[in-house]
Amino acid sequence: MTLAVENVTVVFGHGRRAATVLDDVTLAVPKGTTVGLVGESGSGKSTLAKAMVGLVRPRAGRVLLDGTEISGLRGKRLTAVRRRVQMISQDPYSSLDPRMTVGRALAEAADPRRADVRAHAAAITRGLEAVGLDGDAARRHPHQFSGGQRQRIAIARALVAEPEVIVADEITSALDCSVQAEVLNLLADLRARLDLTMLFISHDLAVVRHVSDAVAVMHHGRLVEHGDRDRIYRAPADPYTRRLLASAPSLPKEAS
C-alpha cells in the first residue's frame, strides 16, 4: 500500500500567531519500501507523520492511501484507514497507558471497540513473540519493562493492528546504542517478513542510511531534497542536505 502526501500545507495557530509548519510538501512512500525522513529538530517531521496518519488536518493538499484521499474521511472510514497505517512514536512511555496491562493495550489495538484480552489472546501472543517478548508480558504493566522492551511493546501494539504501513517517528532516539541496534534489526526483519511500507523518521543520519531505500530531507517545513538513499549520501544536491551531512557526528566520512 502506497502512502503519499501531495502539496500538503499545515498551519498551526490563527491570525497573527499562525505558523506554517509544513509548506507544500509532496512525498510518496511506495509499497514495500522504506523512506527515511531527516531534518533538524523543529523542521516539521512529526507534523508530517501526524498528517500522514490523519492526526493533523492539513490546511491544504491531500493525503493519499493507494490513491484514496484520507484527509476528508471521518468516523468509521477514518478508523479503518488508521488501522492500516500505524504510527509508532518516539516516546513509548507516554504512548503506553501506565495503568493498562500490556495485554490490554494490545487488545485495544486489535479491536478498539472491544478491547478484550481473552478474545485477542492469540493475536496478542503472536504480536509479543514477533518482537521477541514472552507471552507473559501481556499480564504486566509498562513500567515493569526497560526502555528497549517498551519500544518493542509499542512495535508489537502496532503490529497487532495488522498494518500495511508503519510511520515510525524517532523510535530509537531514546535508546542506548546496543538496544537501538536490536530494535532496528527487529524492524528490518518484520519489514521484510510482512512486506511493510514504512516512513522512518530520525534526526540520526547514520540510522536512516541503514534502514532506508530513499531519503527525504526536511528544512523549515519544506522538503528540500528527496531521492535514492545512496545518491543522497554520496552526492547531496541541496546545500542544506550538504550541511546536514557534513555536520553529522555519527556519520563515517566517505573514503573518496
Ligand X SMILES: Nc1ncnc2c1ncn2[C@@H]1O[C@H](COP(=O)(O)OP(=O)(O)O)[C@@H](O)[C@H]1O
**Residues near ligand X (CB under 6 A):** 12, 21, 39, 41-47
Q: Which of ligand X, Mg ion, none binds 39 (CB below 5-8 Å, type-dependent)?
A: ligand X
Q: What gap in Å lies between CA 247 and CA 256, rounded to an integer?
A: 18
Residue 43 CB, nearest approach to ligand X (Å) = 4
Q: Which of Mg ion, ligand X, none binds 202 (CB below 5-8 Å, type-dependent)?
A: none
* Residue at shortest CB range from Mg ion: 46
Our CB check for ligand X shows the closer of 34 and 89 to be 89
Our CB check for Mg ion shows the closer of 46 and 71 to be 46
Our CB check for ligand X shows the closer of 12 and 192 to be 12
Our CB check for ligand X shows the closer of 13 and 112 to be 13
What the block records as the C-alpha cell of 234 is: 554520496
Q: Residues 175, 147: contact at Cβ < 8 Å?
A: yes
- CA dihedral in degrees (149, 151, 156, 161; nearest 10)? 160
Q: Which residues bind Mg ion (CB under 5 A)?
A: 45-46
Q: Which of ligand X, Mg ion, none binds 43 (CB below 5-8 Å, type-dependent)?
A: ligand X
End-to-end CA distance of the chain: 38
What the block records as the C-alpha cell of 205 is: 543520519
Q: What gap in Å lies between CA 111 and CA 115, rounded to an integer?
A: 6
Q: Which of Mg ion, ligand X, none binds 21 (CB below 5-8 Å, type-dependent)?
A: ligand X
Nearest to 176 by CA among 206, 147, 208, 143: 147
